[in-house]
Chain A
């Protein structure tokens, strides 16, 4: 059916053909491309055409790449109108049913494979695996990023590998090694932990945040100096849901150059595709790095907000009540004593609210628990 609408329509370039789907129902109408109006007017229009005046809706559209993107403010509404060619396909959902997973995956993948194959940003050979979720802005999950640029020495990089709900492996290996430090007594060789290899397609490789031969200095705020390879391995695995590694990149050429104190903050929290992803192609640690290493990790001061200490949304266990719903274990307000002194990192670019994150977590968990022990469900 959608082929019919692929036929370019010459009728009017100024009009945008809209096909809106809510449940099993379709509505078609057109909008003026030059005067799309505001989002809330558009929202009212949708409620009107579908005759669901009191239903709270989530609006999504398929963009040119076939990605399902949300419309929930003027900007993305205008973007949707301006890029629609020729047809703007809308998908509406009840907000209370706002299962963003279903929204992003199930309904569309099953029926509209052709359109949504592109949803898989990186084609996954394993069809069974759910594609990358495109969620509503309020559900934006944290992504892997370089953080704390403003507080770290330029020679160091703090990387957050965020593996929430992703099927991608973290995808890297570590090894023992030795690094050269400058001390008052002169150069000194000290044992260290290094990244030894990357798994192609893994989170570490695809984000380009880590590279072979980067020296690992800290794992989630704990210095690794003096720890064995096995200990560091265990620490990383224990933190694998939200792994924050401070490294000294082997390639120091792509370091962010800070012009005075002011610029630093702006660079902080740059997301995903960082400018220095090229680092991964330089495997050899250059002796030039030695001078830079003069600043030892002890200089690092943590940018850390006590109130964020115990936001453990990434770590909540799933409780299934017999005869009840699966639910996340809420954190009792009494707060935990767990390592009061240990920092938990929060991304500077933190768009989510705790509640949303929790719900996404629970959904992810629920899905996982279903797939892993189908028989467990004695609900």
Chain B
């Protein structure tokens, strides 16, 4: 069931890679190569923590549900949870390639 979900996510149009990171920053599951994975895992983990603390500082009853970073080349989407982090890198659409 889980495998299917993850495979389906990877199979979507434009998805470049998927990474699952745990609370310690260890990449549990990845479709990218090791060094890229490690980089994404380390950096995005910190960023997500920061984003979450920002949201909660502004309103303690609020919490971060999703983080999307759109850059020139692609979009990094992070779905955070208490213990794990699901990271997907997607190229939004073919007709929107770098302008």
A binds B: no
